[in-house]
Amino acid sequence: MSITRRTALLSVAAALVTMGLKFSAFLLTGSVGLLSDAAESSVNLVAALIAFTALTIADRPPDDDHTYGHDKAEYFSSGAEGTLILIAAAVILYTAINRILHPVPLENLGVGIVIALVASGINLAVSRIMMRVARQEDSIALEADANHLMTDVWTSVGVVAAVGLVAVTGWQILDPLIAIAVAIQIIVMGIRLIKRSMLGLMDTTLPHDEVIVITQAIAHACGEETPYHALRTRKSGSRRFVDFHLLLPGKTSVQESHDLVMKIEGEIEQQLAHTYVTIHVEPKEDHASWDGQAVGGLSSPSAAGS
């Protein structure tokens, strides 16, 4: 089993434990703030299960029906998690507004606060582990789950602070107001996850700094004056795909072209992990080779010196 899947299972276990703790805190106190926190932990559990499933699919090797692999399954995980977060936020808002209209006194606040803090400590530790693995393996599914857990930590801190203020001041209204604030915050997070998932599924180009790495690697491998065009990039899960047309003198042998292409691929893959490069070689003396805007080297066939 891959390290990403093992880490996702850790997230599942943490979600089960923290969900149980937070619902216990809610039952003891009657706080809708703590209920909102528990509801988000329920989303954590479902999201962790979805992430584990997506990572299991993404780990499958390419096959006849998926020659580019199954990495995009991670984007479905991120999108599903964002949707679940929005549903949880709607439930929290409904419960909080109902509590404003029909106030209920809170009980056992001290015990509830301690339980919530223990659950937050578990989420904090698991989130840091997940983020480290996500960056190491470049996994959007794990990164989304880690960010979700970290947000859960901060919202838990806010809820605990509010419940503490209720215990000190007796202002019961603070409890549902904080629940509403938590709901608004996780709505923002849910929208971000859905947007990122959509961008991945739409084959958005790589970030600008990574494109610069690619263009510099090409220039370093074959010289500043070697023309190329039709540079395209995209990302699928943790894998990056790069392709472009490289214009070389027509007299260049197949072996020489191959050696240069291998050098370019090596330069790019050395700096960007999990990158797959496809290079189409064309004779620069042929005007038909200049069928796309040059993004590097020379910029017109007349400048090629043909």
Which 3-state string (H, E, C) describes 116-134?
HHHHHHHHHHHHHHHHHHH
Strands 239-248 and 228-236: antiparallel
Partners of 245 in beta bridges: 229, 280
pLDDT digits (tens, 9 = 90+) for 243-252: 999 999 999 9
pLDDT at 302: 47
Name the superfamily (CATH) of residues 3-201. Answer: Cation efflux protein transmembrane domain (1.20.1510.10)
Cα distance between residue 44 and residue 148, in whole Å? 7
Cα distance between residue 301 and residue 201, in whole Å? 36
3-state class (DSSP) for residue 145: helix
3-state class (DSSP) for residue 139: coil
**Nearest Cα to Cα of residue 224 among 301, 283, 294:** 294
pLDDT digits (tens, 9 = 90+) for 11-43: 889 888 988 888 888 787 777 767 767 776 777
Q: Which CATH architecture has domain 208-304?
A: 2-Layer Sandwich (3.30)
3-state class (DSSP) for residue 233: strand
Phi, psi angles (nearest 5°) of residue 221: -80, -40
Residue identified by tokens 């990122």 is: 196
Rg (C-alpha) for the chain, rounded Å, is 26
Domain extents in the chain: 3-201, 208-304
Q: Is residue 194 within 8 Å of residue 82, measured between CB atoms? A: yes
Amino acid at position 211, single letter: V
Average pLDDT of the residues of the chain: 81
Residue 108: which pLDDT band, with cuts at 50, 70 and 90? Answer: low
